[in-house]
Amino acid sequence: MDDLAEIRERKRQELQARLSSAAPQPAANGPITLTDETFEQAVASHRALVVDCWAPWCGPCRILSPTVETLAKDYRGRITFGKLNTDENQEVPMRYGIMSIPTLLFFKDGELVDTMVGAVPRPYIEEKLRLLV
């Protein structure tokens, strides 16, 4: 019986370590990288989250990327920014009906409050960010 308890405890610790390492961590100088597996936890654990759905081959995504990087730095501590590669992660885009990229998803307190499609200028994004702060 003692061996069984020891095995259970070891398995519990392994699972806890695996789950905590899979959780997206706030980035010091930019957006967090999200996957289909980490997306829900990120939405639930950040009061305000903006997710940039993008792909490496997408020209407008490459245009928008520096803006998202800068916003992540400028709003650090108030709004978390994440990036989701839609080529590598297809569950989330399907769930949210994303048909064009780049698409920004704006979440507040775990709820989707707005979306924005296209490589839009920073002032337009900041208008939406007011919904989150």
Residues marked as catalytic:
58, 61
Identify the helix (H) or strand (E) that includes residue 113.
strand 111-117
Contact by Cβ (8 Å): 84, 54: yes
Find where tokens 């081959």 sit. Answer: 57
109 Cα distance to chain centroid: 14
